Amino acid sequence: MSIAGDWFNELGSMATLTLDPNDPRQVVGYYHTNVGQAQQRNYPLVGRCDNAGLPDQVVSWAVVWDPPDPAPPGQPPRKPSVTAWVGQYHVVLGIEFIAATWLLTRMTEAADDWESTLVSMDFFFRIQPTAEMLNLAKRFGKVASHVSAPIAEPRG
């Protein structure tokens, strides 16, 4: 099976993945987010996949979120950010999904780098996911279970 096509995550955002016919490991397409300040636009994405034709495949892509307009008067300026997703495509009980961990890095001043990056996980489906589909993906797609483990406080 191919990862090419439209994929919807649990927040209603959509990734359209296309494989380059000259390099079937090259992923291109666009991402339409349903959250945050970047809504209502399609953003180009680029990535790679293994495309080995196996039932499970690895895939990654990145999106640069360019602010579309200047910030309204009285609000701080909008700054660009980038998100990278990396994960696996699976078919479980006939349901296709991509379980992907993402990192979003937003522009900050050098002194604030400690707060520049967020990490979480998305599950993408061929259709808007139902609660049952999300539960199935969470049960079988445990790529980020180590990320959600408690992290010890740094020693000082």
User: Mean pLDDT for each 10-residue chunk of the chain (156 residues)?
Assistant: 89 91 94 75 93 84 82 78 94 90 90 87 87 71 40 40
Domains of the chain plus CATH, in order, are: 5-140 (2.40.128.30)
Predicted local confidence at residue 89, as pLDDT:
94
Sheet strands (E) in 50-129: 57-65, 81-92, 95-106, 117-125
Buried b (16+ CB within 10 A) or exposed e, 42-71: ebebebebebeeeeebbbbbbbebeeeeee
Does the global pTM surpass 0.85? no
Predicted local confidence at residue 144, as pLDDT:
39
Q: Are 42 and 65 in contact (CB under 8 A)?
A: no
- Three-state DSSP state, 113: helix
